[in-house]
Protein backbone atom coordinates (compact mmCIF):
# COMPACT_ATOMS: atom_id res chain seq x y z
CA UNK A 1 0.00 0.00 0.00
CA UNK A 2 2.89 2.35 0.73
CA UNK A 3 4.35 1.72 -2.72
CA UNK A 4 0.97 2.16 -4.35
CA UNK A 5 0.53 5.52 -2.57
CA UNK A 6 4.01 6.71 -3.65
CA UNK A 7 3.23 5.85 -7.29
CA UNK A 8 -0.17 7.55 -7.30
CA UNK A 9 0.87 10.75 -5.53
CA UNK A 10 3.33 11.48 -8.36
CA UNK A 11 0.31 12.39 -10.50
CA UNK A 12 -0.25 15.39 -8.20
CA UNK A 13 2.20 17.82 -9.79
CA UNK A 14 2.47 20.13 -6.77
CA UNK A 15 4.17 17.36 -4.80
CA UNK A 16 7.10 17.18 -7.20
CA UNK A 17 7.68 20.93 -6.76
CA UNK A 18 7.24 20.96 -3.00
CA UNK A 19 9.69 20.57 -0.12
CA UNK A 20 8.27 17.12 0.69
CA UNK A 21 11.07 14.58 0.24
CA UNK A 22 10.54 11.06 -1.05
CA UNK A 23 11.50 9.58 2.35
CA UNK A 24 9.05 11.90 4.10
CA UNK A 25 6.30 10.94 1.66
CA UNK A 26 6.85 7.22 2.07
CA UNK A 27 7.12 7.27 5.86
CA UNK A 28 3.98 9.42 6.13
CA UNK A 29 2.10 7.07 3.80
CA UNK A 30 3.03 4.01 5.86
CA UNK A 31 2.14 5.67 9.17
CA UNK A 32 -1.19 7.07 7.96
CA UNK A 33 -2.30 3.78 6.37
CA UNK A 34 -1.49 1.87 9.54
CA UNK A 35 -3.41 4.37 11.68
CA UNK A 36 -6.41 4.26 9.33
CA UNK A 37 -6.46 0.45 9.51
CA UNK A 38 -6.28 0.57 13.31
CA UNK A 39 -9.12 3.11 13.37
CA UNK A 40 -11.19 0.79 11.18
CA UNK A 41 -10.54 -2.05 13.58
CA UNK A 42 -11.52 -0.13 16.72
CA UNK A 43 -13.18 3.18 17.60
CA UNK A 44 -10.64 3.52 20.40
CA UNK A 45 -7.93 4.00 17.75
CA UNK A 46 -9.53 7.12 16.18
CA UNK A 47 -7.70 9.62 18.42
CA UNK A 48 -4.15 8.67 17.30
CA UNK A 49 -5.25 9.07 13.66
CA UNK A 50 -6.68 12.54 14.27
CA UNK A 51 -3.58 13.58 16.23
CA UNK A 52 -1.45 12.41 13.31
CA UNK A 53 -3.68 14.39 10.94
CA UNK A 54 -3.19 17.53 13.02
CA UNK A 55 0.58 17.19 12.92
CA UNK A 56 0.55 16.41 9.20
CA UNK A 57 -1.57 19.45 8.30
CA UNK A 58 0.71 21.76 10.26
CA UNK A 59 3.84 20.21 8.76
CA UNK A 60 2.64 20.40 5.13
CA UNK A 61 1.54 24.03 5.61
CA UNK A 62 5.05 25.00 6.69
CA UNK A 63 6.48 23.04 3.74
CA UNK A 64 4.44 25.24 1.40
CA UNK A 65 2.32 22.49 -0.12
CA UNK A 66 -0.98 23.80 -1.61
CA UNK A 67 -4.08 22.78 0.33
CA UNK A 68 -5.75 21.15 -2.70
CA UNK A 69 -2.72 18.93 -3.29
CA UNK A 70 -2.61 17.87 0.35
CA UNK A 71 -6.30 16.92 0.49
CA UNK A 72 -6.05 15.05 -2.85
CA UNK A 73 -3.11 13.04 -1.52
CA UNK A 74 -4.85 12.21 1.76
CA UNK A 75 -7.96 11.02 -0.06
CA UNK A 76 -5.82 8.59 -2.07
CA UNK A 77 -5.87 6.41 1.04
CA UNK A 78 -9.42 5.30 0.31
CA UNK A 79 -8.89 3.73 -3.16
CA UNK A 80 -5.54 2.29 -2.03
CA UNK A 81 -6.98 0.62 1.08
CA UNK A 82 -10.16 -0.46 -0.69
CA UNK A 83 -8.26 -1.97 -3.63
CA UNK A 84 -6.06 -3.90 -1.21
CA UNK A 85 -9.08 -5.18 0.72
CA UNK A 86 -10.63 -6.41 -2.52
CA UNK A 87 -7.41 -8.16 -3.52
CA UNK A 88 -7.22 -10.18 -0.28
CA UNK A 89 -10.94 -10.97 -0.06
CA UNK A 90 -12.83 -13.98 -1.27
CA UNK A 91 -16.33 -14.07 -2.79
CA UNK A 92 -17.64 -15.02 0.63
CA UNK A 93 -16.52 -11.62 1.94
CA UNK A 94 -18.71 -9.64 -0.48
CA UNK A 95 -21.49 -8.91 2.02
CA UNK A 96 -18.96 -7.73 4.62
CA UNK A 97 -17.20 -5.47 2.10
CA UNK A 98 -20.47 -3.86 1.02
CA UNK A 99 -21.43 -3.34 4.66
CA UNK A 100 -18.08 -1.75 5.54
CA UNK A 101 -17.49 0.39 2.41
CA UNK A 102 -19.10 3.47 3.92
CA UNK A 103 -17.14 2.99 7.15
CA UNK A 104 -13.82 2.95 5.28
CA UNK A 105 -14.75 6.12 3.43
CA UNK A 106 -15.90 7.84 6.65
CA UNK A 107 -12.61 7.16 8.46
CA UNK A 108 -10.56 8.43 5.51
CA UNK A 109 -12.83 11.45 5.17
CA UNK A 110 -12.46 12.31 8.87
CA UNK A 111 -8.71 11.98 8.48
CA UNK A 112 -8.75 14.31 5.44
CA UNK A 113 -10.97 16.85 7.20
CA UNK A 114 -8.74 16.93 10.30
CA UNK A 115 -5.62 17.33 8.13
CA UNK A 116 -7.20 20.16 6.14
CA UNK A 117 -8.42 21.94 9.26
CA UNK A 118 -4.96 21.79 10.84
CA UNK A 119 -3.41 22.99 7.58
CA UNK A 120 -5.70 26.03 7.43
CA UNK A 121 -5.06 26.92 11.07
CA UNK A 122 -1.30 26.76 10.44
CA UNK A 123 -1.61 28.95 7.34
CA UNK A 124 -3.55 31.57 9.32
CA UNK A 125 -0.88 31.60 12.02
CA UNK A 126 1.87 31.81 9.42
CA UNK A 127 0.12 34.73 7.69
CA UNK A 128 -0.27 36.57 10.98
CA UNK A 129 3.38 36.00 11.85
CA UNK A 130 4.45 37.09 8.37
CA UNK A 131 2.32 40.24 8.59
CA UNK A 132 3.84 41.07 11.97
CA UNK A 133 7.40 40.61 10.72
CA UNK A 134 6.59 42.58 7.57
CA UNK A 135 5.21 45.45 9.64
CA UNK A 136 8.28 45.49 11.87
CA UNK A 137 10.52 45.84 8.83
CA UNK A 138 8.38 48.66 7.39
CA UNK A 139 8.11 50.54 10.69
CA UNK A 140 11.90 50.47 11.01
CA UNK A 141 12.25 52.28 7.66
CA UNK A 142 10.18 55.21 8.95
CA UNK A 143 11.93 55.38 12.32
CA UNK A 144 15.42 56.49 13.27
CA UNK A 145 16.58 52.99 12.30
CA UNK A 146 15.74 53.82 8.69
CA UNK A 147 18.92 55.91 8.52
CA UNK A 148 21.01 52.79 9.11
CA UNK A 149 22.22 51.00 5.94
CA UNK A 150 21.73 47.59 7.56
CA UNK A 151 18.00 48.32 8.12
CA UNK A 152 17.49 49.08 4.45
CA UNK A 153 19.57 46.10 3.35
CA UNK A 154 17.56 43.72 5.54
CA UNK A 155 14.29 45.08 4.16
CA UNK A 156 15.50 44.78 0.56
CA UNK A 157 16.66 41.20 1.10
CA UNK A 158 13.50 40.15 2.94
CA UNK A 159 11.13 41.47 0.28
CA UNK A 160 13.21 41.05 -2.86
CA UNK A 161 13.51 44.72 -3.80
CA UNK A 162 16.46 46.88 -4.83
CA UNK A 163 17.22 49.28 -1.98
CA UNK A 164 18.69 51.85 -4.37
CA UNK A 165 15.92 51.84 -6.98
CA UNK A 166 13.31 54.63 -6.92
CA UNK A 167 10.17 54.17 -4.85
CA UNK A 168 6.81 55.85 -5.21
CA UNK A 169 4.93 56.72 -2.05
CA UNK A 170 1.32 57.73 -1.44
CA UNK A 171 -0.22 59.08 1.75
CA UNK A 172 -3.93 59.20 2.54
CA UNK A 173 -5.76 60.78 5.40
CA UNK A 174 -8.09 58.70 7.56
CA UNK A 175 -11.14 59.12 5.32
CA UNK A 176 -9.49 57.24 2.44
CA UNK A 177 -7.34 54.77 4.38
CA UNK A 178 -9.83 51.88 4.07
CA UNK A 179 -9.82 52.21 0.28
CA UNK A 180 -6.02 52.13 0.20
CA UNK A 181 -5.90 49.05 2.43
CA UNK A 182 -8.37 47.26 0.16
CA UNK A 183 -6.17 48.07 -2.82
CA UNK A 184 -3.08 46.72 -1.05
CA UNK A 185 -4.93 43.50 -0.19
CA UNK A 186 -5.53 42.59 -3.84
CA UNK A 187 -3.64 39.41 -4.80
CA UNK A 188 -1.66 41.16 -7.56
CA UNK A 189 -0.65 44.01 -5.22
CA UNK A 190 0.04 42.40 -1.87
CA UNK A 191 3.69 41.52 -2.50
CA UNK A 192 4.73 44.85 -4.06
CA UNK A 193 2.65 47.47 -2.25
CA UNK A 194 3.79 48.06 1.33
CA UNK A 195 1.60 49.76 3.94
CA UNK A 196 2.55 51.73 7.03
CA UNK A 197 0.08 53.22 9.51
CA UNK A 198 1.04 56.27 11.54
CA UNK A 199 -1.75 57.66 13.72
CA UNK A 200 -4.58 58.65 11.32
CA UNK A 201 -2.36 58.65 8.23
CA UNK A 202 -1.71 55.64 5.99
CA UNK A 203 1.43 55.35 3.87
CA UNK A 204 1.77 53.07 0.86
CA UNK A 205 5.02 52.69 -1.06
CA UNK A 206 6.19 50.57 -3.95
CA UNK A 207 9.25 50.08 -6.19
CA UNK A 208 8.81 51.94 -9.49
CA UNK A 209 9.89 50.41 -12.81
CA UNK A 210 11.90 53.51 -13.72
CA UNK A 211 13.05 56.81 -12.20
CA UNK A 212 11.05 60.01 -12.61
CA UNK A 213 13.60 62.76 -11.98
CA UNK A 214 10.97 65.42 -11.45
CA UNK A 215 8.18 66.14 -9.03
CA UNK A 216 5.48 64.66 -11.26
CA UNK A 217 3.47 61.78 -9.89
CA UNK A 218 5.48 58.51 -9.91
CA UNK A 219 4.22 55.50 -11.92
CA UNK A 220 1.18 54.35 -9.94
CA UNK A 221 0.03 50.82 -9.09
CA UNK A 222 -3.29 49.94 -10.79
CA UNK A 223 -6.21 51.34 -8.80
CA UNK A 224 -4.30 54.10 -7.02
CA UNK A 225 -5.09 56.68 -9.69
CA UNK A 226 -8.61 57.17 -8.28
CA UNK A 227 -7.67 57.44 -4.59
CA UNK A 228 -7.44 60.96 -3.07
CA UNK A 229 -3.90 61.14 -1.74
CA UNK A 230 -0.59 62.93 -1.88
CA UNK A 231 2.19 61.26 -3.88
CA UNK A 232 5.94 61.70 -4.20
CA UNK A 233 9.00 59.83 -5.44
CA UNK A 234 12.04 58.74 -3.47
CA UNK A 235 14.71 59.10 -6.14
CA UNK A 236 17.39 57.70 -3.79
CA UNK A 237 15.55 54.47 -3.04
CA UNK A 238 14.83 53.40 0.53
CA UNK A 239 17.19 55.99 2.02
CA UNK A 240 14.93 58.79 0.81
CA UNK A 241 11.65 57.09 1.60
CA UNK A 242 10.89 58.90 4.88
CA UNK A 243 11.61 62.32 3.30
CA UNK A 244 9.38 61.54 0.31
CA UNK A 245 6.72 60.39 2.77
CA UNK A 246 6.75 63.79 4.48
CA UNK A 247 6.17 65.50 1.12
CA UNK A 248 3.32 63.14 0.24
CA UNK A 249 1.80 63.59 3.71
CA UNK A 250 1.85 67.38 3.36
CA UNK A 251 0.20 67.13 -0.06
CA UNK A 252 -2.47 64.77 1.29
CA UNK A 253 -3.50 67.40 3.84
CA UNK A 254 -3.95 69.94 1.03
CA UNK A 255 -5.85 67.59 -1.29
CA UNK A 256 -9.24 68.91 -2.42
CA UNK A 257 -12.22 67.30 -4.14
CA UNK A 258 -11.33 69.02 -7.40
CA UNK A 259 -8.05 67.13 -7.56
CA UNK A 260 -9.75 63.78 -8.07
CA UNK A 261 -6.89 61.31 -7.70
CA UNK A 262 -3.31 61.72 -6.43
CA UNK A 263 -1.83 65.18 -5.92
CA UNK A 264 1.87 65.55 -6.80
CA UNK A 265 4.24 68.44 -6.16
CA UNK A 266 3.93 69.76 -9.72
CA UNK A 267 0.21 70.35 -9.21
CA UNK A 268 0.28 71.20 -5.51
CA UNK A 269 3.49 73.21 -5.01
CA UNK A 270 1.64 76.53 -4.70
CA UNK A 271 -0.52 75.09 -1.94
CA UNK A 272 2.56 73.75 -0.18
CA UNK A 273 4.27 77.14 -0.39
CA UNK A 274 1.12 78.93 0.73
CA UNK A 275 0.65 76.61 3.72
CA UNK A 276 4.29 76.92 4.79
CA UNK A 277 4.21 80.73 4.61
CA UNK A 278 0.94 80.78 6.53
CA UNK A 279 2.47 78.59 9.24
CA UNK A 280 5.16 81.19 9.95
CA UNK A 281 2.78 84.16 9.79
CA UNK A 282 3.26 85.35 6.19
CA UNK A 283 -0.28 86.02 4.92
CA UNK A 284 0.20 86.77 1.23
CA UNK A 285 -3.44 86.09 0.43
CA UNK A 286 -4.77 88.37 3.16
CA UNK A 287 -2.48 91.20 2.12
CA UNK A 288 -3.37 90.83 -1.55
CA UNK A 289 -7.12 90.64 -0.92
CA UNK A 290 -6.92 93.68 1.34
CA UNK A 291 -5.24 95.73 -1.40
CA UNK A 292 -7.80 94.68 -3.99
CA UNK A 293 -10.79 95.27 -1.71
CA UNK A 294 -9.61 98.80 -1.00
CA UNK A 295 -9.71 99.80 -4.69
CA UNK A 296 -11.98 97.40 -6.58
CA UNK A 297 -15.55 96.13 -6.55
CA UNK A 298 -16.17 92.44 -5.92
CA UNK A 299 -16.92 91.66 -9.57
CA UNK A 300 -13.72 93.42 -10.69
CA UNK A 301 -11.68 91.52 -8.08
CA UNK A 302 -13.00 88.25 -9.46
CA UNK A 303 -12.11 89.21 -13.04
CA UNK A 304 -8.61 90.32 -12.04
CA UNK A 305 -8.02 87.13 -10.08
CA UNK A 306 -9.21 84.95 -12.94
CA UNK A 307 -7.04 86.80 -15.45
CA UNK A 308 -3.90 86.77 -13.30
CA UNK A 309 -4.15 83.04 -12.56
CA UNK A 310 -4.89 82.15 -16.18
CA UNK A 311 -2.01 84.29 -17.46
CA UNK A 312 0.34 82.82 -14.84
CA UNK A 313 -0.57 79.32 -16.05
CA UNK A 314 -0.14 80.08 -19.77
CA UNK A 315 2.40 82.93 -19.86
CA UNK A 316 0.75 84.07 -23.08
CA UNK A 317 -1.65 86.99 -23.52
CA UNK A 318 -3.31 85.60 -26.65
CA UNK A 319 -3.89 82.17 -25.09
CA UNK A 320 -5.26 83.81 -21.93
CA UNK A 321 -7.63 85.91 -24.06
CA UNK A 322 -8.80 82.78 -25.89
CA UNK A 323 -9.45 80.88 -22.68
CA UNK A 324 -11.35 83.76 -21.08
CA UNK A 325 -13.16 84.75 -24.30
CA UNK A 326 -11.76 88.30 -24.18
CA UNK A 327 -9.85 90.56 -26.51
CA UNK A 328 -6.11 90.60 -25.85
CA UNK A 329 -6.32 94.33 -25.06
CA UNK A 330 -8.81 93.51 -22.31
CA UNK A 331 -6.31 91.11 -20.82
CA UNK A 332 -3.52 93.69 -20.99
CA UNK A 333 -5.76 96.29 -19.35
CA UNK A 334 -6.59 93.94 -16.49
CA UNK A 335 -2.94 93.07 -15.92
CA UNK A 336 -2.07 96.78 -15.83
CA UNK A 337 -4.93 97.39 -13.40
CA UNK A 338 -3.72 94.58 -11.17
CA UNK A 339 -0.21 96.06 -11.13
CA UNK A 340 -1.61 99.52 -10.35
CA UNK A 341 -3.58 98.26 -7.34
CA UNK A 342 -1.17 95.69 -5.89
CA UNK A 343 2.25 96.69 -7.23
CA UNK A 344 2.67 93.16 -8.69
CA UNK A 345 3.68 92.97 -12.34
CA UNK A 346 2.69 89.44 -13.36
CA UNK A 347 4.79 89.72 -16.52
CA UNK A 348 7.81 89.45 -14.20
CA UNK A 349 7.99 85.78 -13.04
CA UNK A 350 9.34 86.60 -9.59
CA UNK A 351 6.46 88.98 -8.90
CA UNK A 352 3.86 86.70 -10.52
CA UNK A 353 4.85 83.95 -8.08
CA UNK A 354 3.61 86.11 -5.19
CA UNK A 355 0.10 86.15 -6.61
CA UNK A 356 0.16 82.47 -7.61
CA UNK A 357 1.28 81.36 -4.13
CA UNK A 358 -1.10 83.79 -2.39
CA UNK A 359 -4.03 82.26 -4.21
CA UNK A 360 -2.61 78.72 -4.08
The pLDDT assigned to 231 comes to 95
In this prediction, what percent of the chain has a pLDDT beyond 70? 95
Give which of 298, 355, 292, 303 is closest to 326, Cα–Cα.
303
Q: Does residue 91 lie in a domain region?
A: yes
Q: Which residues pair with residue 201 across a beta bridge?
A: 198
**Residue 128: per-residue pLDDT:** 63
pLDDT tens, position by position, 235-271: 888 999 999 999 999 999 999 888 889 999 999 999 9
Distance CA(80)–CA(86), nearest Å, equals: 10
Q: Are residues 288 and 263 in the same domain?
A: no
pLDDT on residue 290: 92
Instruction: Write the DSSP string, 250-265.
Output: HHHHH--GGG-S-B-H
Output the CA–CA distances (angstroms, integers) from residue 323 to 18, 83, 299, 357, in the order listed. 65, 85, 19, 21
Mean pLDDT over all residues of the chain?
88
64 vs 61, 69, 115, 123, CA distance in Å?
5, 11, 14, 9
pTM > 0.75: yes or no: no
Rounded to an integer, the average pLDDT of 277-292 is: 91
Helix (H) or strand (E) holding 231: strand 230-234
Query: Has residue 142 been placed in a domain?
Result: no
Least confidently predicted of 9-23, 286-300, 346-360: 9-23
Distance, CA of 11 to CA of 97 (rounded, Å):
28
Q: Does residue 78 form part of some domain?
A: yes
Query: Measured on CA atoms in the order 166, 210, 267, 308, is the torsion positive or negative?
Result: positive
Domain around 30: 2-132
Residue 189 domain-assigned? yes
> Pick from 243, 278, 313: which residue ends a domain?
278
User: Of 215, 246, 278, which marks where a domain is finished?
Assistant: 278
Q: How far apart are CA 139 and CA 262, in angstroms?
A: 23
Q: What are phi and psi of 69, to 5 degrees?
A: -65, -40
**What number is the average pLDDT over the span 196-209?**
88
Domain boundary among 257, 278, 299: 278
187 within a domain of the structure (yes/no): yes
Amino acid sequence: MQEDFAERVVSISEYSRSAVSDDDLRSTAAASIELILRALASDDERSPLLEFATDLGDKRAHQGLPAEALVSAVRLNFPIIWTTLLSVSSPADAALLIHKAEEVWRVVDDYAAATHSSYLAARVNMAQEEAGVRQEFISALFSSQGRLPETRERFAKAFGVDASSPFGIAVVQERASATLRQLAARPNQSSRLFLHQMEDVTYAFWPTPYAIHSYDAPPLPPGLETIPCGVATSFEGLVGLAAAGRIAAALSELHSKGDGGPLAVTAGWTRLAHARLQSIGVDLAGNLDQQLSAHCRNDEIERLRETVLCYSATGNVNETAAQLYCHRNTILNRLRRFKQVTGIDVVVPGQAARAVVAWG
